[in-house]
Structure 1
Amino acid sequence: MALTDVGVRSAKPTGKLYRLFDERGMYLEVSATGGKWWRFKYRFQGKEKRLSLGVYPDIGLKDAREQRDEMRKLLAKGVDPGEHKKAKKAATLERATNSFEVVAREWFARQSPGWAQSHADKVVQRLEKDIFPWLGGRPIEEVGAPELLTVIRRIEERGAKDTAHRAMQNCGQVFRYAVATGRAERDPSADLRGALPPVRRENFASITEPAKVAELLRAIDGFRGTFVVKSALLLAPLIFVRPGELRKAQWSGFDLEKAEWRYLVTKTKTEHLVPLAVQAVEILRELHALTGHGTYVFPGRDPKKPMSEAAVNAALRRMGYDTKTEITGHGFRAMARTILHEELHFRPEVIEHQLAHKVPDSLGSAYNRTKFLKDRRVMMQRWADYLVALKAGGQVTSIDKCT
């Protein structure tokens, strides 16, 4: 006789395994302790086989029968239900291991060791916040251009246009990695070129008028903050390196006797040499008495870590400067580039090399840390002397072009 809901529910343990049979090969197996499993018994190519249909009460009598009927349909088509179930499970597992998030994290793990930590943090945060909640669980090969655009548009609609473009770029990198590793056929982000409005790029705020630079330098002299932060402010215009490179500077890279600083540029992974003017060496010698026993030139509250990323900009704001419209820590680079060329008439290629920018030459070398080194030493000292005279309010005349 066929099983009933009441009969299944009331089946009690007897201390040993027993079975209650339904129709067409299905039965309920009751364990010695009372556990209940649905089973389907069938024959395929002359061999008797059994297949689990789930656990009661998670799977009720009606659902178990529906599964059984599906299995019988497969048998009628010459398909082994057990092998079919294994294939479906394997396909599901493969889809899960090839989801967008799994592939993206694999791509990130391979690429991020070569990035600056701040950049790596921004990329993974962008993916986790704006992409994974909607695409993370999707098989990467099934994600198409319209679905990707919908996700990117969510970012754009909240006003984060630059983030939307960067997220699109990151997704394209993930898709291309999936193509390279055989988990996708193509990169759908390529179909979305022009789908997002362009972002208006704004340069870092900077002061490039000599008279206003003089005011800034005098304000730095009068800054009432920690000695470490003030030293960073005094040194920033003299050496005009990237803010991250300044705050992470380590004493091991400095040779104050030779008046030079060597370090690895995080953006390009190239070695860079900064000739130090007399004024810069003086600032560093004074600072060395305070922080020279540690790793970092500008340590933070925790001496084992560098100064905060926001420290210089926060100091500029305390001095009354708007870091969005007037000057930022990065703005000292534009200040030097502009005045060195327009006021002191140094050659652009000499300035660009000192800024650690890639400047291809006739030999094809993009950057050489020692190229124009003699000219750069002269330039850095003249620049420091110029700033001293400017701050003092003296008459600063143009200097002949460096040859």
Structure 2
Amino acid sequence: MTWLPANPEAVFTYGAPQLKFGPGSADEVGHDLRVLGATRVLVVTDPGVLATGWPDRVAEGIRAAGLEAVVHDSAHVEPTDASLVAALDRARADGPFDGFVAVGGGSAIDTAKAVDLLLTDGGELMEYVNVPVGAGRAPGGPLAPLVAVPTTTGTGAESTTICVLDVLSLKVKTGISHARLRPALAVVDPRLTATQPPGVTASAGMDILYHALESWTARPYTSFERKQPGERVPYCGSNPISDLWSERAMALLAKAFRTAVRIGSDESARGDMALAATFAGLGFGNAGVHLPHAIAYPVAGRVRDFHPEGYPSDEPMVPHGMAVALTAPEAFRWTFEADPDRYLAAARLLEPGQPGQGPRWSGEPRDVLPGVLVDLMRDIGMPNGLAAVGYDEGDVHDLVEGALKQQRLLATSPRAVGADDLAGIVTRSLQLWE
């Protein structure tokens, strides 16, 4: 189905945080917070990142600038509704705070977003969670300033308006989405990513890739019905500004991704991955993501007994970037007809060496991009489809039902998608290569 609105949208919106990038930028956070008007700051991190020493170093810099700083290792890897409430309770006990800093991956940044939201605006967590899982309440006013200092190259959470969480009782991953959740400042210091294990670099890098590729292929903003100014949402569809960020992110990934996984000490590759993550966040944080992310939420939320390399081993999990990657080749094969030229252009951007050449390009055009994606998965050690992380044909129905709850993401799909379409994508993704 082609999107044919009766009254096409003619306006797109674009938002981004202030950005500071480069080695040494994390040592300047105290100065930045003082400029933002903060006096008493909560630094949110997780136990693993805390052990690297970076959160305490950032806190010392904040104190050296004349501000108070309290460090909480309250973030849970892949946040849940329970972990966010626990982090909120701990922050409330040590508050009040008029500024927040997140030092960590997307889990720490999303935890800080939720704590800031609930301490500043009040209410209960599920009031803010996206419809239909929650009530979709919007913040009533501006939040306290949040400075995001990422330590992983993947989520782009430092640039976005999204807080992602698992709702444990429903076994589904969902989110909170509002422009006021976007950090006031993103501080991207590539030095902080040097401690990423290869498995984390691979999974987080897959999140960069699909932020960029889904943003690049999202339905155009002109394919939506025209909205009144107060009705426009952060995910507005692909647009000329987001396209520039997404295109550049893909080019950087083609150059650096495999090297960053294989040689973690390569400073050039680490720097390119950090820049790619930021660029992709600046793209998808406005255009949106679609099918691979929508299916990834139940894939991560319903995991039974998979323990990925490089992550905490005390509980099963499918890391977010990995969950997105597992159905992406088949999702992009299915959506190819929406814009064949754009899909082939993406394949050229992502293919290393001599893009656009070789046997792959003489076959079916719809198979080109999936082939590029599968080759990358194999090179960096991603599992071979959903079966490799514990799913089988008996799980297809539940995974589809979970994906159908992600209406905010499905609305950005380049093709209108139903339950049968999703079931086909999931089934074909059980095994991706022989």
TM-score of the aligned structures, taking structure 1 as reference length: 0.22
TM-score of the aligned structures, taking structure 2 as reference length: 0.21
Q: Which has the higher contact order (CA 8 A, sep 6+)?
A: 2
Q: Which has the larger radius of gyration?
A: 1
